[in-house]
Structure formats: structure tokens, C-alpha cells
């Protein structure tokens, strides 16, 4: 799960967010439909911003570590 690499000004750190169901699905290895269902049910730590799903990569990792009791 690597963050998007876009050219940022020197000294600016990338935001730790994954935008869109497609990106979230790719990050967790699930289909877009499975991911959409999980987000709508509140089974993943995401929220809608201007109609688009977004998740924090750190919260997503923490969520799966908690579920797996790691």
C-alpha cells in the first residue's frame, strides 16, 4: 500500500489518505463492489467527502490489525 506519488513542493509531506472506492479496494485487495458494501455498512473506517469515499491509510491498517488481533 504505497501512497500516491505526485510532485510536491520541497518540504511538503503527502497526505495519508486513499481516495475513491477503486483506490480503497486496490489497497485492501477486494473488489470495488465488496469495498462499497463494506463502506456503506460502516465496516471500514471511511467517510464521504463531497460524495467521494476517503479513508486514512493509518486508520485502515489499524482497523485490520485490530480485527486480526495482531
- What pLDDT score does 43 carry? 95
pLDDT in tens, 34-47: 999 999 999 999 99
Q: What does pLDDT average to over the chain? A: 90
pLDDT at 3 over 60: no
DSSP states along 42-64: T-SSEEEETTEEEEEHHHHHHHH
Question: How many Å separate Cα 56 from the centre of its chain?
Answer: 5
Output the pTM of the full model.
0.78
Q: Where are the domains of the chain?
A: 17-67
Number of helices and strands (H, E) in the chain?
3, 3
d(CA 22, CA 24): 6
pLDDT at 70 over 70: no
pLDDT at 25 over 50: yes
d(CA 45, CA 49): 13
Residues 62-68: what's their mean pLDDT? 91
Amino acid at each position: 500500500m504505497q501512497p500516491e506519488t505526485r510532485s510536491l513542493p520541497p518540504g511538503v509531506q503527502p497526505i495519508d489518505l486513499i481516495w475513491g472506492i477503486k483506490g480503497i479496494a486496490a489497497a485492501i485487495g477486494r473488489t470495488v463492489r465488496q469495498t462499497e458494501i463494506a463502506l456503506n455498512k460502516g465496516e471500514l473506517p471511511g467517510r464521504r467527502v463531497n460524495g467521494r469515499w476517503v479513508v486514512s491509510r493509518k486508520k485502515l491498517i489499524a482497523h485490520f490489525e485490530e480485527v486480526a488481533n495482531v
